[in-house]
A and B are shown apart, each in its own frame.
Chain A
Amino acid sequence: MISAAVPLSCAGGGDFSLIHFFLLSDNMASSEDSATEKLTAPDRVTPKGDTSIFNSMAFRGIAYQVLLAAFVILGGLYLYINVNANLERQGIATGWSFFNENAGFDIGESPIEYDSEDSYGFALWVGVLNTLRVAFVGIILATILGVFMGIARTSRNWLLSKVANVYVEICRNVPVVLHVLFWATVVRFLPHPKQAITPFDGAFLMNRGIVFPIPNEHPAYIWVGVAFVLGVIGAIFLGRWAQRWREMTGQYIPTFLWGCVIVIGLPLAAWLVQGAPLTWNVPALRGFNFQGGMALSPEYAALVVGVTVYTAAFIAEIVRAGIQSVPHGQIEAARALGLRPRFIMHYVTMPQALRVIVPPTASQYLSLTKNSSLGVLIGYPDLVNIGNTTLNQTGQAVEAIAIMMIVYLSISLAISTFMNLYNRLVAIKER
């Protein structure tokens, strides 16, 4: 019986069969019972073994979850009670009623009309808009700069790729806080309006910010805008149609080229048809300050430049990795099939590279948006800055910080939902 149970250790020399026997002795006892059964007898054996419910996976699973949930709920409750007690002792109000109270502070710049008579709620809303203003422009600029630098890094031009490399390494290895702080200080030390620097005619750099000319308003521009939207829609339809056309007839239509023609040509045509109106609103020095044109505050400019330069370095790295992630064999295979370079780019390289590029780029957009909160550091009235002022004036720290968090969470959620949608479009169907 024993030798049957431990065949290997016996055959293997037996010097540790004792260990083996010892370790298995528990089960040995149980098997001896069943050994008495006849071969032809019904095969059922009375199962031995542990039947304690505490060792069942189902029970343990439920127990762990209940414990964690209890920890979270009780912990939350404990904190809630403490916060309430502390606030009461310090005589600080709770709740959202401060939302409707007079804010009483001025905001340096606002895309909508605001004065200190307005409510805290409205002031926070101005902060949200200011945050979005930085994030939106920053994302566009960082994408342009980042994609350019990323492609430059993979360039066959040694000088270009080295310059891009130096840019990327310097900018991403220095904290974004330092970037923003540096540019804010640079702007502060720019000359007074009277001695403003003029990079090109009509534009001025000074310690009051940046002003540059913009075209005067004209009703024709509305139609140009409409034409642009139509052009974009048209280009999308053209792409769809061209693909179907190619599938039906085998003829290739250079969609990208024609798409550009439509998107640019249609607004241009609309503009020309209405007599090509163009007069510039050129800023000019009146007294101590500039009037007219488009003015950007020094804080806004510093914040946008800081977060853009920083984020673009990361996007460049992502773009480079994406382009280099397409195995060379893919391009060789496409060439071997006789595909022309533009087809290879369109059908082989880009789809695969984009799959690698888009998700991390989306998270860079998120991080740029979050980094725009550095406005609080340099006096740009973004959401965190105004939230911070609200916090200091009302003392309602919990509510003020909760507002900031909720707004940023919503922005994050919106961007990631959008990107998930895009991902689903781009993703290669696996299986």
Chain B
Amino acid sequence: MNEQQPADAAADPLGDETVIQLIDVNKWYGNFQALRDVNVSVKRGERVVVCGPSGSGKSTMIRCINRLEAHQKGQIIVDGIELTDNLKNIEAIRSEVGMVFQSFNLFPHMQVIDNLTLAPMLVRKMPKADAEAIAMKYLERVQIPEQAYKYPGQLSGGQQQRVAIARSLCMQPRIMLFDEPTSALDPEMIKEVLDVMVELADEGMTMMVVTHEMGFAKTVADTMIFMDDAEIVEIAKPDVFFTNPESERTQLFLNQILTH
């Protein structure tokens, strides 16, 4: 990102601690290259929005950051720890990094409250009472405390996604990854999820969000990343990105999604 960073970076409100760093990351699925020489660095408190056409490798990139996928070349360093196939490190990073999926992936056989307390109890070894207190706190934050004792199947899509966000927050992560969190939602539910995410951003959470919600990007993003064909095409501040993008591909993409 340094290349694009203007000289007045000192005035930037972000901290100067790098928490996510991808250096020349490459990944293949069989012979198909899904990531080509990807370089990204994210500062503490930075809000990064990733966009690009479908199949461009956005999901692959953020899934590499908590090692749901393994990269084959390059370095990924999260919170100062390099991601290798060392289980201790993977464990440490996963408990620091929360992730929200397009398809919610709530555990259907558990009540909402058990979805939320499971990881704190098993991974953080937290006593049940503490875990439940935290769970209720975050359910209130996402404004559905009354759903605590329901099963995921009994909730609407927007409620499920908010539970999923709360579930990640219960692990007290320092970084949150979102992979198209609103793509599976009916239009009237998108806003309730985005509201939660905006609030989270306002509190200074480090976030990396794959989304096509450009309104959201304009309000919260510190940095925009555009990916196409397994590569990062452009990294820019949102004002530059939306008004005057460097690359033609970016322009084309923006024209396509903004005219809809």
A and B touch in the complex (CB under 8 A): yes
| Given known A-B contacts A30-B79, A49-B89, A56 and B21 have beta carbons under 8 A apart | no
Is residue A60 within 8 Å, beta carbon to beta carbon, of the partner chain? yes
**CB distance A47 to B82 under 8 Å?**
yes
Is residue B122 within 8 Å, beta carbon to beta carbon, of the partner chain? no
**CB distance A39 to B9 under 8 Å?**
yes
**CB distance A48 to B80 under 8 Å?**
yes
Chain A residue at smallest Cβ distance from B5? A39
| Given known A-B contacts A43-B2, A45-B80, A7 and B205 have beta carbons under 8 A apart | yes
Is residue A27 within 8 Å, beta carbon to beta carbon, of the partner chain? yes
**CB distance B200 to A43 under 8 Å?**
no
Complex Cα distance A3/B17, Å? 14
From B25-33, B129-137, B241-249, give the one contacting chain A: B129-137
**CB distance B130 to A19 under 8 Å?**
yes
Q: How large is the interface on B (under 10, 10 to 19, 20 to 34, 35 or more residues)?
A: 35 or more
Is residue B63 within 8 Å, beta carbon to beta carbon, of the partner chain? no
Complex Cα distance A413/B105, Å? 40
Given the complex, which residues of B lie within 8 Å of A20, measured CB to CB?
172
Which of chain A's residues 40-73 have a Cβ closer than 8 Å to chain B? 40, 43-45, 47-52, 55-58, 60
**CB distance A58 to B5 under 8 Å?**
no
Complex Cα distance A201/B88, Å? 83
**CB distance B21 to A16 under 8 Å?**
no
Which of chain A's residues 1-31 have a Cβ closer than 8 Å to chain B? 4-9, 11-13, 16, 19-20, 23-24, 27, 30-31
**CB distance A47 to B80 under 8 Å?**
yes
Is residue A100 within 8 Å, beta carbon to beta carbon, of the partner chain? no
| Given known A-B contacts A8-B172, A38-B16, A43-B2, A27 and B137 have beta carbons under 8 A apart | no
Is residue B96 within 8 Å, beta carbon to beta carbon, of the partner chain? yes
Smallest CB–CB gap between B46 and chain A, Å? 11
Is residue A332 within 8 Å, beta carbon to beta carbon, of the partner chain? no
**CB distance B87 to A48 under 8 Å?**
no
Interface string of A102-126 (1 = CB under 8 A from B): 0000000000000000000000000
Is residue A247 within 8 Å, beta carbon to beta carbon, of the partner chain? no
Residue from the list B77, B84, B130, B133 in contact with A45, Cβ < 8 A: B77
Is residue A430 within 8 Å, beta carbon to beta carbon, of the partner chain? no
Residue from the list B12, B81, B126, B138 in contact with A39, Cβ < 8 A: B12
Is residue A423 within 8 Å, beta carbon to beta carbon, of the partner chain? no
Given the complex, which residues of B lie within 8 Å of A13, measured CB to CB?
137
Given the complex, which residues of A lie within 8 Å of B124, measured CB to CB?
23
8 A-B residue pairs with Cβ-Cβ distance under 8 Å, sorted by A, are: A13-B137, A19-B172, A31-B19, A35-B15, A44-B21, A45-B21, A50-B88, A50-B92
Q: Which 8 A-B pairs rank lowest in CB-CB distance, beginning with the nearest?
A: A47-B82, A49-B81, A7-B204, A50-B88, A57-B85, A30-B80, A35-B17, A49-B89
A interface, CB within 8 angstroms of B:
4-9, 11-13, 16, 19-20, 23-24, 27, 30-31, 33-35, 37-40, 43-45, 47-52, 55-58, 60
A4-B204, A31-B17, A45-B77 given; name 19 further pairs at CB < 8 Å.
A12-B141, A16-B130, A16-B134, A24-B172, A27-B81, A27-B174, A35-B15, A35-B16, A39-B9, A39-B10, A43-B23, A44-B23, A45-B21, A49-B86, A49-B89, A50-B89, A52-B88, A57-B87, A60-B87
